[in-house]
Chain A
Amino acid sequence: MLEKGAIAPDFELNATPDQKIKLKDFKGKNVILAFYPADWSPVCSDQMALYNEMLNYFSKYDAQIFGISVDSVWCHLAFQENRKLHFPLLADFEPKGAVSKAYGVYDDEVGESKRALFVIDKEGKIAWSYLAPLAVNPGADGILDALEELNKK
């Protein structure tokens, strides 16, 4: 897993069937990446629901959050609609898990992303990363602490 200080590997992933997100387009903004195993599974949904309530906190720290899993764009779309999520979910779908692997958070055995959080600073460097036990929703206090730390600089 990539740690603090590493350059965050660039990626280009679909957020919707016709919209791609490039990490490097977000230089100058803090970025939160929340890798999670799968849409619809109970813990993930709570986790995404929590971040959904926190979008105004993240924008206060000039940060954009992305959820990432190996689910397809159509699956993400349905999940997003069902849970009324107001932030992008990226599909690490083809080649499967490539971005998760680049960040060192792919679980080969089950073929899903691990539950991992990254806070990337405005220069594209990883400022904080955290790997949560699979069935545990990591909450958001770690993310906020990391963003606060960045704000102090």
Chain B
Amino acid sequence: MSVLKPEINDQDHIQGNDSASVTIVEFGDYQCPYCGDAYPIMKEIEETFGDQIKFVFRHFPLANAHQYAFPAAIAAEAAALQGKFWEMHDALYENQYRLNAKLFDELAETIGLDLEQFQKDSASEAIKARIEDHFDSGIRSGVNGTPSFYVNGTKFDGGAADLYQMLKESTE
């Protein structure tokens, strides 16, 4: 059984109730169509199960297969430096169908980032290293494709819809 390595820490992007009984970690790629499909389901899970859920996102960009995957992860991390990781995360998935190199600045403006700072941060090595750390964590945790989910630290064999079903059954 594959387990999450390293465990969730204060470097992670965390959404939801800190003391929730169920922690879901997604390893995702902003250009991966399956992750795009999973996005609204994850939103639904968060809405339906509310306080019972804590949601963490780690980057797993397949940079060779998806040319904008890594730049998109950079955009999310640069937004995080201005406290708006999740706003950028959502905007990236909601605009996945028109992902291109010019989209990032546009989204940065839409969600109200300081554009100059965003562009400066996007070029930083520290952000690149951070995304590589996430990828490394995925490899070590047995991620075999995107999206991959972990529930309370253990790999979940299934997609977002299976996850929804499982949560529904376990809370009934």
Interface on A for B, CB 8 Å cutoff?
Answer: 46-47, 49-50, 52-54, 57, 83-86, 136-141, 144
Contact = CB atoms under 8 A, between A and B. Distances in A.
Given A139-B2, A141-B2, A52 B141 contact: no
B40 interface: no
Contacts of B142: 139, 141
Given A50-B62, A141-B2, A144-B140, 12 more contacts: A47-B144, A49-B65, A50-B144, A52-B62, A52-B64, A53-B62, A86-B64, A136-B144, A137-B144, A138-B144, A139-B2, A140-B139
B64 A139 contact: no
B162 to A, nearest CB: 15
Contacts of B38: none
Nearest to B61: A53
Given A46-B145, A53-B135, A83 B65 contact: yes
B140 A46 contact: no
A139 to B, nearest CB: 4
Contacts of B144: 46-47, 50, 136-140
Contacts, number: 45
12 contacts: A49-B64, A49-B145, A50-B62, A52-B62, A53-B135, A86-B64, A136-B144, A137-B145, A138-B144, A139-B139, A139-B144, A141-B140
A52 B139 CA distance: 13
A57 B135 CA distance: 11
B65 A139 contact: no
B63 interface: yes
Contacts of A138: 144
Contact of A52 (B65, B135, B140, B145): B65
